[in-house]
């Protein structure tokens, strides 16, 4: 990749905390990696200075949660997914309340306070099934936040249940949904989405779910999966759409990006390496000036690169993640316990602290 020197004025604007344009982002992208990382680290400090009683620069947070995929049955057939099954497949499943209870009992014993619950686009489950599941969890495990159901799932629900999207989200919130993950974002450019997941919600539909949820008081995360068929300009357009949404509703608590994991998927793309991951995370921290928290993606990059990412704009180490089923099907299966996470954070020169979904300290 050719290295160009960004203008001194642009670097000064980044240091001063000013908003950058897509053209600026293209220019910054071509900086040497260590220089871009230093600018992202500076922007991290600007964003976190006042957090946690003024100790935000020294703190790196994490959460103890568990991924629960309530079904692997899906009729969207994304080319980048190795997890989905059809109803006819012998290894397809729909989770039971007993299985949920076992997973949540284990989570509680480990000090966990949240589940990340997502699943495939099941063509047959009814709204009563989902409401019963949410109500069951809320009543039996009131200490556990349900961070669940990505925007494409909500669009699927509205279609299958033949209900307005707003009504579906409202009923889920009433039943116990606490926040929404940013899954299914991939790249918010429809020319890309049409190539990798033509049956999934388009960019406007993804953002509409977030708009409705934020206006109902449901926070969410924002994500980007890159390194497949998209261009650099597509990535920056994706970031621009997230930033514009955050300007309007302010409901994104964090941003997480990760690279496409190719094993066992139908999408044929040469995977990008850790340097490209660090470059995009750093650029995202600078561009997304209205999203305070950036999460290191050690689940896809491995613990050591996850640790390095703390110097490239990240201030959060994600979660202990007692269970992960989707990325692991695509060939990546890193696991960390809370003590290992805290050691990695300390080795990087920060103070580890546990948090909840809203980035409030809980330890």
* Angle CA 336–332–39, to nearest 5: 75
Task: Domain ranges for the chain, please list them.
Answer: 8-354
| Domain 8-354, CATH | 3.20.20.70
Low-confidence winner among 90-99, 213-222, 325-334 (lowest mean pLDDT): 325-334
Residue 324 has pLDDT above 50, yes or no: no
Instruction: pLDDT band for 129, please (50, 70, 90 cuts).
Output: very high
pLDDT in tens, 273-307: 899 999 999 999 999 999 999 999 998 889 999 99
Instruction: pLDDT band for 323, please (50, 70, 90 cuts).
Output: low
- Strands 59-63 and 114-118: what pairing? unpaired
Element of type H or E holding 97: helix 97-109
Structure tokens at 361: 């300290």
Q: What is the CA radius of gyration of the chain?
A: 20
Residue 243 has pLDDT above 60, yes or no: yes
Burial 318-353 (b: 16+ CB within 10 A, else e): bbbbbbbebbbbbebebebebeebbebbeebebebb
Nearest alpha-carbon partner for 311 in 85, 34, 70: 34
Residue 224 has pLDDT above 50, yes or no: yes
Low-confidence winner among 127-131, 147-151, 255-259, 321-325 (lowest mean pLDDT): 321-325
């Amino acid at each position: 990749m050719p290295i160009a020197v960004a203008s001194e004025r642009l670097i000064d604007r980044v240091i001063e905390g000013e908003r950058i344009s897509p053209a600026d982002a293209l220019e910054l992208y071509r900086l040497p990696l260590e220089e871009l990382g230093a600018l992202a680290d500076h922007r991290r400090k600007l964003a976190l200075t006042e957090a946690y009683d003024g100790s935000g620069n020294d703190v790196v947070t994490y959460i103890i949660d568990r991924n629960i995929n309530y079904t692997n049955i899906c009729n969207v057939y994304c080319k980048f997914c190795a997890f989905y099954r059809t109803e006819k497949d012998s290894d397809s499943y729909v989770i039971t309340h007993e299985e949920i209870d076992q997973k949540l009992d284990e989570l509680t014993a480990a000090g966990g306070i949240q589940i990340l619950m997502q699943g495939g686009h099941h063509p047959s489950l009814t709204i009563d099934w989902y409401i019963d599941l949410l109500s069951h969890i809320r009543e039996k495990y009131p200490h556990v936040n349900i961070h669940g159901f990505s925007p494409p799932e909500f669009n699927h629900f509205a279609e299958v249940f033949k209900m307005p999207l707003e009504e579906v989200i409202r009923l889920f919130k009433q039943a116990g949904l606490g926040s929404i993950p940013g899954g299914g974002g991939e790249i918010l450019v429809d020319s890309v989405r049409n190539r990798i997941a033509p049956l999934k919600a388009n960019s406007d539909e993804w953002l509409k779910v977030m708009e409705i949820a934020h206006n109902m008081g449901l926070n969410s995360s924002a994500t980007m999966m890159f390194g497949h068929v998209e261009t650099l300009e597509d990535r920056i357009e994706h970031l621009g759409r997230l930033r514009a949404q955050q300007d309007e509703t302010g409901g994104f608590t964090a941003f997480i990006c990760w690279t496409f994991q190719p094993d066992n998927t139908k999408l044929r793309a040469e995977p990008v390496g850790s340097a490209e991951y660090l470059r995009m995370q750093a650029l995202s921290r600078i561009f997304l000036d209205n999203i305070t928290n950036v999460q290191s993606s050690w689940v896809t990059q491995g613990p050591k690169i996850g640790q390095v990412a703390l110097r490239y704009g990240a201030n959060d180490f994600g979660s202990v993640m007692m269970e992960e089923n989707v990325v692991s099907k695509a060939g990546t299966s890193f696991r960390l316990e809370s003590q290992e996470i805290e050691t990695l954070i300390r080795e990087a020169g920060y103070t580890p602290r546990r948090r909840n979904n809203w980035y409030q300290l809980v330890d």
